[in-house]
Amino acid sequence: MASIEPNIAGLAIFAGLWTAACMGFLVLSGMFPASTRPAGARQAGGGALVLVNSLLWLALAAAALVYGYANLRLTSLIVVGGLVLLFAPAPFDLLPTSFRDGRRGLAALVALQGAAIAVWAALPGGGALI
């Protein structure tokens, strides 16, 4: 494996960051346009949660790609990123519909994406310093 990708720890970190970004994308894809949002996300505070999640998602996707580009071989970045994108819908489908389409799920997504960005920012020599 070291001949394919020498930075296994970096590969695992990228896979985790990119998985969080893909999960965020899947949740947010059902929230636009606003007129077709699920009823749970139309309740009070739902629009603000969608906006915050959208901004966090943009930051997280950019952070994951910057980290992967700076620390991995391009082939590893493409293969692992593609595999995560391909298989991300499987755990997403296991979530209950009320969690995927409601404020509770949006709040959990804020926490997931915020934690992933915090991990990225705390990485030595590869996070916020890039």
Per-residue pLDDT in tens (0 to 9) along the chain, 130 residues: 667 888 898 899 999 999 999 999 988 888 877 677 777 677 777 778 888 999 999 999 999 999 999 988 999 999 999 999 999 999 888 988 877 878 888 889 999 999 999 999 988 765 655 5
Residue pair 103/40 in contact by the 8 Å Cβ criterion = yes
- Whole-angstrom Cα distance, residue 47 to residue 114? 18
The total number of residues shown for the chain amounts to: 130
Helix axes 8-29, 46-71, angle to 10 degrees: 150
The pLDDT, as a whole number, for residue 101 is: 79
pTM: 0.86
DSSP string, the chain: -TTT-S-HHHHHHHHHHHHHHHHHHHHHHTT-SGGG--HHHHSTTHHHHHHHHHHHHHHHHHHHHHHHHHHS-HHHHHHHHHHHHHHTHHHHHHS-HHHHSSHHHHHHHHHHHHHHHHHHHHSTTTSTT-
Token digits of residue 73: 């071989």
Token digits of residue 95: 């979530």
The pLDDT, as a whole number, for residue 95 is: 85
